[in-house]
């Protein structure tokens, strides 16, 4: 498909703002959705994107925002707001054009087929669970799981991008990925947030990622450099 217009759901967050920039860099027309009180976080893009204020699980706001879009990039919010992630995913699944490319973000803790291996002895995984532990105090993790369950079950053209631990910093290039956590290529468990966003935006035009849930890691991470094949 010739990608022209994309919607970014959760545009005001850190990941969202990076995705806006990458989408503009590719010449896409961008529509962003974010909570009313967060609209100011998108001031840097004023005049270059259309902003629809609203909760991302507001079905009417999503319907308006995704109209006519060839692709939708959705941040599945990890924070504990009741049915926020699953409501967001459902609104996108229901209202996006049936032929639109849908890209969702989440973390490694999501599993599509139960084949991910979370080794308790691996330092990387302990780190990942540390992140989960921190989240667990404020978060409705189960709702992100539910959101992804609905995406996996849908017959839309979806990709679920599963992020490792994240860090800020300059882009290092497109992350590498594996179908399963536990693959040695992922062991370093670190990705620049700007590159997570890059992977999401690149996925819009990569049909090989349709119905995949790639687990990603920075292309310069030691484990990526040591194991540079996709399995």
Ligand X SMILES: NC(=O)c1ccc[n+]([C@@H]2O[C@H](COP(=O)([O-])OP(=O)(O)OC[C@H]3O[C@@H](n4cnc5c(N)ncnc54)[C@H](OP(=O)(O)O)[C@@H]3O)[C@@H](O)[C@H]2O)c1
Nearer to ligand X, 79 or 123 (CB): 79
Q: Does residue 66 bind ligand X (CB under 6 A)?
A: no
Answer yes or no: are the C-beta atoms of 163 and 106 closer than 8 Å: yes
Q: Does residue 208 bind ligand X (CB under 6 A)?
A: no
Q: C-alpha angle 72/166/11, rounded to 5°?
A: 30
Of 24-32, 99-107, 151-159, 179-187: span binding ligand X (CB under 6 A): 99-107
For residues 163 and 177, give the distance between their C-alpha atoms in angstroms, rounded to a whole number.
10
Answer yes or no: are the C-beta atoms of 212 and 187 closer than 8 Å: no
Of 5-13, 46-54, 62-70, 214-222: span binding ligand X (CB under 6 A): 5-13
Q: Does residue 201 bind ligand X (CB under 6 A)?
A: no
Q: Does residue 38 bind ligand X (CB under 6 A)?
A: yes
Strand 191-192 to strand 29-34: parallel, antiparallel, or no bridges (unpaired)? Answer: unpaired
Strand 215-217 to strand 176-178: parallel, antiparallel, or no bridges (unpaired)? Answer: antiparallel
Q: Is 51 exposed, middle or buried (0-12, 13-18, 19+ CB in 10 A)?
A: buried
Q: For residue 185, what is the DSSP state?
A: G
Q: Does residue 111 bind ligand X (CB under 6 A)?
A: no
Of 43-51, 159-167, 209-217, 221-229: span binding ligand X (CB under 6 A): 159-167
- We find the least distance from the C-beta atom of residue 138 to ligand X, in angstroms, to be 9
Q: For residue 15, what is the DSSP state?
A: H
Contacting ligand X (CB under 6 A), which of 3, 8, 15, 198? 15
Q: Does residue 100 bind ligand X (CB under 6 A)?
A: no
Q: Does residue 106 bind ligand X (CB under 6 A)?
A: yes
The alpha carbons of the chain give a radius of gyration, in whole angstroms, of 16
Nearer to ligand X, 10 or 218 (CB): 10
Could you give the string, one character per residue 212-231, with x where binding to ligand X holds by CB under 6 A and - elsewhere? --------------------
**Ramachandran category for residue 114: left, alpha or beta (phi over 0 → left; psi -120 to 50 → alpha):** left
Q: Does residue 150 bind ligand X (CB under 6 A)?
A: no
Q: For residue 183, what is the DSSP state?
A: B
Q: Does residue 87 bind ligand X (CB under 6 A)?
A: no
Residue nearest to ligand X (CB): 13
Q: Does residue 39 bind ligand X (CB under 6 A)?
A: no
Nearest by Cα to 166 from 104, 218, 110: 218
Binding residues for ligand X (CB under 6 A): 10, 12-16, 34-35, 38, 41, 75-79, 81, 84, 105-107, 131, 163, 165-166, 193
């Amino acid at each position: 498909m010739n990608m022209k217009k994309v919607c970014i759901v959760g545009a005001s967050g850190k990941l969202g703002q990076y995705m806006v920039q990458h989408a503009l860099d590719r010449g896409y027309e961008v529509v962003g959705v974010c909570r009313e009180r967060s609209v100011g976080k998108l001031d840097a893009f004023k005049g270059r994107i259309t902003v629809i204020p609203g909760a991302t699980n507001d079905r009417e706001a999503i319907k308006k925002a995704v109209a006519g879009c060839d692709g939708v990039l959705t941040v599945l919010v990890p924070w504990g707001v009741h049915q926020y992630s699953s409501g967001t995913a459902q609104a996108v699944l229901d209202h996006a054009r049936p032929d639109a490319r849908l890209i969702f973000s989440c973390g490694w803790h999501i599993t599509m087929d139960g084949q991910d291996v979370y080794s308790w002895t691996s330092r990387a995984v302990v780190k990942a669970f540390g992140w989960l532990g921190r989240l667990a105090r404020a978060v409705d993790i189960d709702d992100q799981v539910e959101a992804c369950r609905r995406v996996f079950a849908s017959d839309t053209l979806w990709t679920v991008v599963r992020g490792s631990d994240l860090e800020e910093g300059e882009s290092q290039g497109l992350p590498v990925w594996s179908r399963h956590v536990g693959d040695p290529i992922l062991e370093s468990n670190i990705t620049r947030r700007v590159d997570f966003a890059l992977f999401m935006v690149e996925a819009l035009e990569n049909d090989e990622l349709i119905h995949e849930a790639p687990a990603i890691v920075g292309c310069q991470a030691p484990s990526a450099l040591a194991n540079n094949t996709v399995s």
